[in-house]
Amino acid sequence: MTSQVGLLILAMAMIGFLLVFRAHFAVFIAKGDSMLPGLQSGDLVLVDKLAFRTKNPERGDIVVARDRDELIIKRVVGLPGEEVELRQGELYVNQHPHSEKYAVEPGWLNLGKGRLLENKYALLGDNRSVSRSVFVHAVASKDQMLGKVIHSLRLRPRWLGSSLNRTT
């Protein structure tokens, strides 16, 4: 009898933990090459869904956001009211080169400058070597952001990457 009560308490505790975990966190799979070198297609990312309830996204945050009918994983590179531009793979904020403190895949990608409206954030992939036809950037409101990526897990070694199907 005592062992049954113990198992019941353990099962209830696990259910409670899972409910709390699910309310606070989400797990997504990265797709495509736009976030290389930091994230590659197939990586699992853990997202804090409550990260932006009490504070605003910051430059450098990696976020999961809704864009049209899709979910995207991108980095915040521009804040409300700023003018953002990409010249030959280099980020400019308010017409000044911005030193990015995270790894980017160098390239020659250009994106014309534009000023962000109130509550709008510029999102950009870290891979600047992709072609212009590949989706690498977006403008999103805080409401479109599902949360902040707080951890990633690579499920397969890099050396396997070239032999598997990869989507962009």
Average pLDDT, the chain: 87
Per the model's pLDDT, the better-predicted residue between 131 and 83 turns out to be 83
Q: What is the pTM of this model?
A: 0.82
**Does 164 have pLDDT greater than 60?**
no
Question: What is the spatial distance between Cα 128 and Cα 93, in angstroms, rounded to a whole number?
Answer: 16
Listing from the earlier edge strand, what are the strands of the sheet with 62-67? 25-29, 44-48, 145-153, 62-67, 70-78, 120-124, 137-141
| Segment 19-46, tens digit of pLDDT | 776 778 999 999 988 899 999 999 999 9
Taking the C-alpha atoms of residue 66 and residue 70, their distance in angstroms, rounded to an integer, is 6
Domain interval for residue 105: 25-156
In a domain, 6, yes or no: no
The pLDDT of 77-102, averaged and rounded, is 95
Q: Are strands 25-29 and 120-124 parallel, antiparallel or unpaired?
A: unpaired
DSSP state of 143: G
Q: Which segment, 30-39, 89-98, 133-142, is predicted with the most confidence on average?
A: 89-98
What is the domain-level CATH number for residue 73?
Answer: 2.10.109.10
Number of structural domains the chain divides into: 1
DSSP 38-95: TS-TT-EEEEETTTTTSS---TT-EEEEEETTEEEEEEEEE-TT-EEEEETTEEEETT
**Which residues form the catalytic set?**
34, 74
Flag whether 12 is in a domain: no
